[in-house]
């Protein structure tokens, strides 16, 4: 499979060098627009001079995966975006360079999953000139990719439903905590 048997930096560059070089320009551009990063919820993204060492570290880490769930999910052509973290990536296997966060689902069926910030980097890079709504595009990307998950397999669809249920429960729990805090505050004021 193309790029999945990467064992060293040289083979990564042979397979993905052109796309990797494009990421340098993307990261440089994103760093000049902190508003875009803020709208995307991305903090502490790497700077261009860090890119090579960050990717070498990622490839080294990728080659150490032994668990089948990890080996199937993670890819060597993902570029870590956050400094000192493997929480958000840009996928250079697609000409659109989608950006996503990764999360682990800690219940059956135990899986990693992606939360897409957006599907196409071009729209984001042009947003200061075109007025493109970054937040709306991010929500659209999450919904679109969620539908793909639901349609791809029963277990993945189940995963997405479970994740949505967990998020709903967390939101409700936060709301009930806020309500309880308000009630305590009112009682203390009496």
Across 57-66, 122-131, 132-141, 145-154, which has the greatest mean pLDDT? 57-66
Residue 105 to residues 79, 115, 121, 172, Cα–Cα distance (Å)? 22, 12, 27, 19
Domain ranges of the chain: 9-189
Q: Are 81 and 42 contacting, i.e. CB atoms less than 8 angstroms apart?
A: yes
Q: What is the pLDDT of residues 31-83, one digit of tens each?
A: 887 777 776 677 788 999 999 999 999 999 999 999 888 999 999 999 999 88
pTM: 0.66
């Amino acid at each position: 499979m193309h790029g999945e048997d990467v064992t060293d930096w040289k083979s990564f560059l042979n397979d993905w060098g052109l796309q990797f070089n494009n990421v340098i320009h993307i990261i440089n551009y994103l760093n000049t627009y902190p508003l875009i990063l803020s709208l995307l919820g991305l903090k502490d993204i790497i700077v261009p001079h860090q890119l090579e060492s960050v990717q070498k570290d990622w490839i080294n880490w990728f080659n150490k995966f032994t668990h089948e769930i990890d080996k199937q999910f993670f890819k060597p052509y993902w570029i870590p975006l956050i400094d000192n973290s493997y929480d958000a990536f840009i996928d250079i296997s697609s000409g659109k360079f989608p950006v996503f966060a990764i999360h682990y689902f800690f219940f059956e069926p135990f899986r990693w999953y992606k939360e897409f910030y957006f599907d196409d980097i071009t729209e984001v890079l042009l947003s200061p000139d075109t007025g493109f709504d970054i937040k709306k595009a991010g929500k659209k990307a999450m919904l679109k990719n969620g539908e793909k998950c639901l349609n791809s397999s029963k277990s993945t669809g189940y995963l997405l439903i479970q994740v949505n249920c967990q998020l709903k429960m967390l939101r409700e729990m936060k709301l009930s905590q806020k309500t309880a805090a308000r009630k305590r505050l009112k009682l203390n004021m009496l």
